[in-house]
Amino acid sequence: MPSEVVDLFTELAALPSPPGEERAVADAVTRYLRDLGLDVDEDGAGAQVGSTIGNLYCRLDPTAGGAGTPVFLCAHLDTVPPTGPIKPVIDDGFVRNDGGTILGADNKSAVAAMLEATRRVLAENRPHAGLELLFTPKEEVGLLGAGAFDHDRFRADIGYVYDQAAAIGEVILGAPYSHSMEVRFHGRAAHAGMYPEEGRSAIAAAARAIADLRLGRLDDETTANVGVINGGTAGNIVPEWCTFLAEARAHDERKLGEVVQEMLDAIAFAGGLEDCEVETEVHKSYRGYRFKRDDDVVRIAHTALERSGFTPTYALSGGGADANVFNERGLRCLNLANGMQDIHTPDERIAVDDLDRMVDVTLALLDVAREHAA
């Protein structure tokens, strides 16, 4: 028989929750926590970030004595948009989607593990130094929910997210800085068959710019990408407008600045060659961070993983997570791998055993934090 955390995960995964449309899963999480006798507060971030929900916040006060270090746990409720039905099934020890699209293990497997661990804390009267839970919307499109949360509400300075698709035991010591870029070329429309020489092709300018950009993995800690391009109105019209969306990431903030400037120079050069005007907007997506192995947030995780039977390993991530937001605000928030595989694809899956093991890891985190001097 599947365990309670597996049943909970499959229930949550079956509820579609693309960014901005997380209401059904938020209501399920709220009901679960209130059935445990806990208060759940939903803030007003939904209107700010364009979601049907705000951030869900829940706090368990420390048990008698109150010694140790309080901890917050954070997971996001949105997934990348599914392209078909979500029908979670258990197959050969894994939870998969039988509907031909994503499963939503990113990040509902973390949600389920955190909720089940909370249930066990209460059911078993486990002592702890304080536990806070935060569930955010619109993480997948820029960490927007976490960015809109009033972090001063946390009593804990140390927190954890489980948002790395790797084997349990991997500890993420750092994540990159990231900038997004919207580029708009403005040319001149003309009839493509009768007066092409009078036109200025915005698509040609964009294509030249993209061809000149260094994209993909630039080095061990730097990447760049163009992910969306739109332009033109008809096949027989020289296109007046063309827009593309790009990004750059680097673990070194200085290097990120250099890559972004290199991209801007290539874009401006291409616009000049094609006699097109260029409008470029660059936005900070999130700031990077880097921990040392002897930082308290890392040492607590290391000990908890060992107690749970895992040998900790250390890595840097190429992606952002809600942890980026909280670290930028002066908290210490660590990202732990939780066994998700092939996220954002129809092959997305997670082992049944890993769902159970992350409950054990969560309980161990609380035990070790309670023993750790605040």
Query: pLDDT per residue over 55-103, tens digit each?
Result: 999 999 999 776 899 999 999 999 999 999 999 999 999 999 999 999 9
With cut-offs at 50, 70 and 90, classify the pLDDT of residue 2.
confident
Q: How far apart are CA 297 and CA 283, in angstroms?
A: 30
Over residues 327-350, mean pLDDT? 97
* CB burial of residue 23 (10 Å; 0-12, 13-18, 19+): middle
CA distance 162 to 108: 10
Position 67 scores a pLDDT of 84
Could you read off the pLDDT of 264-314 as tens digits, one per residue? 999 999 999 999 999 999 999 999 999 999 999 999 999 999 999 999 999
> What does pTM read for this prediction?
0.92
pLDDT at 1: 67
pLDDT at 312: 98
The token duo for 22 is: 């997380």
- Alpha carbon distance 310, 301 (integer Å): 11
CATH, domain range 177-285: 3.30.70.360
For the cut 90, the answer to whether the pLDDT of residue 322 exceeds it is yes
CATH code for 4-175+288-371?
Answer: 3.40.630.10
Q: Averaged over 330-343, what is the pLDDT?
A: 98
Residues labelled as active-site residues: 78, 139
Backbone angles phi, psi at 144, to 5 degrees: -75, -40
Q: What is the spatial distance between Cα 86 and Cα 343, in angstroms, rounded to a whole number?
A: 14
Domain with CATH 3.40.630.10 in the chain: 4-175+288-371
Confidence at residue 64, expressed as pLDDT on a 0 to 100 scale: 75
Write out the residue limits of the CATH 3.30.70.360 domain(s) in the chain.
177-285
**213 is written with which tokens?**
């950009």
